[in-house]
Amino acid sequence: MKTTIQQILTAGVLLTLTGAPLLSQAQAQVETVGTVKTVTGEAWVISSGQRVKAQAGTSVFLGSQLKTAKASSLGVTFKDNTLMSFGPDTELTVEEYLFAPAKGQYKLGARMDKGSLNYLSGVIAKLKPEAVTVKTPTGTIGVRGTQFLVTVQAPATAN
């Protein structure tokens, strides 16, 4: 009987130990990296498969896809004070975000599939410009200044 209790306790400790890193990863995935500041018309933040209508105060997470409808716009402020303003019919995904000044760790990576973006650098681009990239279907923008505007045309469809 003593062996059975010991085996159960050992299994419980192993589950706890192996579960700890999973909890840390899960917590990292739900950490807010930015916040919606302005919305005109209709826009959405899609995170972990859940589509939420964007409004001032809506959280943006690592992996979130930001979408605007036609005749709509969206403004997002990230934790490092990076500002992104999205024009009509835009889709952008936050693929990477790391802002840990105490450790000197910085990264902001996004993928823009279509639409328009006005980008204004925050702390990450000012301290480590090479840590910021925006991928488009035809290339990658490396941030070396403080502001840029990009427009990505949706691919033409065959008739």
pLDDT (tens, 9 = 90+) of the chain, 159 residues, equals 444 444 443 433 333 343 433 333 344 457 899 999 999 999 999 999 999 999 999 999 999 999 999 999 999 999 999 999 999 999 999 999 999 999 999 999 999 999 999 999 999 999 999 999 999 998 777 776 688 888 998 666 655
How many residues are present in the chain? Answer: 159
Q: CA 26, CA 24: separation in Å to the nearest integer? A: 5
pLDDT value of residue 138: 86
CB 86 within 8 A of CB 68: yes
Q: CA 37, CA 119: separation in Å to the nearest integer? A: 14
Long-range contacts of 126-132 (CB under 8 A, 24+ apart): 127/101, 131/106, 131/107, 132/82, 132/107, 132/108
CB 73 within 8 A of CB 40: yes
CB 89 within 8 A of CB 60: no
pLDDT value of residue 39: 98
3-state secondary structure of 40: strand
Strands 65-68 vs 73-78: parallel, antiparallel or unpaired = unpaired
Q: CA 77, CA 65: separation in Å to the nearest integer? A: 15
